[in-house]
Amino acid sequence: MPLRELRAGFIFEEQRASFGSFQRGIYRSARQRGPAALTLTTAPIAPGKTRPYDDELDATTRTIIYHYRSGSIDQPDNRALRAAHTEQVPLVAAPLGPVLAAVQGIA
């Protein structure tokens, strides 16, 4: 999904809802029901630039190998990511488009 569309958000229960801050890679809205993440953002590979995480895209399966946020594996962002995987909840991923998440170490 293009970043401009993600920034626009969407309407949920007659109110605008955000897809995320895009400063953090894992996003779960406080308005959501359930524990799963809504959006994953990963930095694209750019020549000469260092990425904060070595996230990968398997082009054959359209699967992201997405690394936990640094710090405790039990912090809220990582719990939301695990919940999305466990519950098989669809995620929005930027800038790579809609894909399934496979979490490094538990997939």
Name the token pair of 96.
């790579």
CA torsion 4→99→101→66, rounded to 10°?
-60
Q: How far apart are CA 98 and CA 38, in angstroms?
A: 11
25-63 pLDDT per residue, tens: 788 887 788 898 888 877 766 788 887 777 877 778 877
- Say yes or no to pLDDT of 86 above 80: yes
Residue 95 — pLDDT band, cuts 50, 70, 90? low
Q: Quick check: helix, strand or coil at residue 103? A: strand
Name the token pair of 75.
């912090």
The residue ranges of every structural domain in the chain are 3-103
- Say yes or no to pLDDT of 90 above 50: yes
Residue 2 — pLDDT band, cuts 50, 70, 90? low
56-85 pLDDT per residue, tens: 777 788 777 788 888 888 998 889 989 998
Please give the full DSSP string across 10-27, using - where no structure is assigned. EEETTEEE-S--SSSSEE
For position 83, what pLDDT does the model report? 93
Q: 0.75 cut: is pTM over it? A: no
Task: Please work out, in degrees rounded to the nearest 5, the angle formed at the alpha carbon of residue 31 by the alpha carbons of 100 and 85.
Answer: 25
